[in-house]
Amino acid sequence: MPLTRASLVPAVLFALAVALSASAAFADDAAGVTSPRVSAPEATSVSVRTADELGPSYLVTRMSFSVGQDLVGTQEEFEKRPAKRRVLRDGPSGEVDARGDQLRIVAVVRGQGSGEFAVLSRYEFTLTKLCPIQLREGAPTTIDVVVRRDAPLMADFGDGLQIDCSVAAAVVAVSP
């Protein structure tokens, strides 16, 4: 493509703008002028504990947790036996911006069956929940997340799947 005056004008204007911006910043620094800077977000630690009350026909295969743009973590290992899945277990934890006010939870639940009920294994459901939370800078927060099914016995297979969440009570050390 041949160079023409029309094709050079935008490039020259951009280079000029960059040069002027850099010289203005240099002049400000030399004169002791400081530009307003965006402060770093205040961080806090979030831990998640997970359980499910789905029974033997369902299996949670993946859960991911985030606060705003910060990923707390993803969990892909779950207890296989339904009785043990009811107990809260430690899940992912991470540092997030303390200004966040919602934990976003995405869970993938798969049907589980064998023999005459093998068709259940073809079903997969993606559940999403926004859990309101209050975070304080520097104060760790633990959130309990439970996947359950709340539907009548003869309801459709995917009906009533839901995610419940709550902020766990903080443990406060008391000295005698």
Domain extent listing, the chain:
1-37, 43-167
Its pTM stands at 0.70
Strands 43-53 vs 141-149: parallel, antiparallel or unpaired:
parallel
Q: For residues 105 and 165, is the Cβ–Cβ distance under 8 A? A: yes
What does the alpha-carbon distance between residue 78 and residue 89 come to, in Å, rounded to a whole number?
Answer: 9
> How do residues 83-136 score in pLDDT, each as one tens digit?
899 999 999 999 999 898 999 999 999 998 888 888 888 999 999 999 999 998
pLDDT at 159 > cutoff 80: yes
Distances (CA, A) of 125 to 59, 100, 110, 166: 10, 27, 6, 22
What does the alpha-carbon distance between residue 120 and residue 118 come to, in Å, rounded to a whole number?
Answer: 5
Distances (CA, A) of 156 to 39, 58, 93: 51, 13, 34
The pLDDT assigned to 74 comes to: 95
The pLDDT assigned to 157 comes to: 86
CATH topology (fold) of 43-167: Immunoglobulin-like (2.60.40)
